[in-house]
Amino acid sequence: MGDTKYEFVDLMPFVRVNQLDRYYGAASQLELLADAFDVHWIVKEMEDDWQGEWNAVFILEGRYHIMNGYFGSCSGCDDLEDENPMDWLRDYVKNVRAFDNVDDLIHWLTNTDDYSYRDMKSFILLALEEERLSNN
């Protein structure tokens, strides 16, 4: 994977609100990201269960970004429940993988051994292939 080009970037400078003034409870991670960033979403998916994984792939400033995390149904198993939304954002968006093009992201995701993308990898790859086709 050494030939796949990406870097870790901090997205806080791109947050479009200084203070998020609504309540974000358990399993609201994707809502918070959608409120915080004006991006072209490719994937914004959360498992349909009491707890599980969420995944986000989006284009910001011409670059492809991928991130994921976990959610639960209560404060004991969800890292956003009862936390200040800006604090949660700072923690989650300070180290996001950024790729210059969709092909590099597809290559990385196809070959990664990052366990956190295991369950949704096929779904994300399908969405990225559709994005690539729409750009040709």
What is the percent of the chain where pLDDT is above 90?
A: 53
Long-range interactions of 73-78: CB distance < 8 A, separation 24+:
73/26, 73/27, 74/26, 75/26, 77/26, 77/51, 78/25, 78/26, 78/27, 78/51
Q: Is 84 part of any domain?
A: yes
Q: Is 109 part of any domain?
A: no
Domain total of the chain: 1
pLDDT tens column, 23-32: 787 778 899 9
Q: Is 49 part of any domain?
A: yes
Residue 99 has pLDDT above 80, yes or no: yes
Alpha helices in the chain (DSSP H): 29-36, 85-93, 102-111, 121-134
Range of the domain at 46: 7-99
Residue 119 has pLDDT above 50, yes or no: yes
Q: Is 119 part of any domain?
A: no
pLDDT tens column, 12-71: 999 987 667 777 877 788 999 999 999 999 999 887 777 788 899 999 999 999 999 888
Q: Report yes or no: 70 and 53 within 8 Å, Cβ to Cβ.
A: yes
How does residue 116 score in pLDDT terms, banded at 50, 70 and 90? confident
Stretch 119-133: mean pLDDT: 93
* Residue positions counted in the chain: 136
Alpha helices in 6-120 (DSSP H): 29-36, 85-93, 102-111
How does residue 2 score in pLDDT terms, banded at 50, 70 and 90? low
Mean pLDDT of the chain: 87
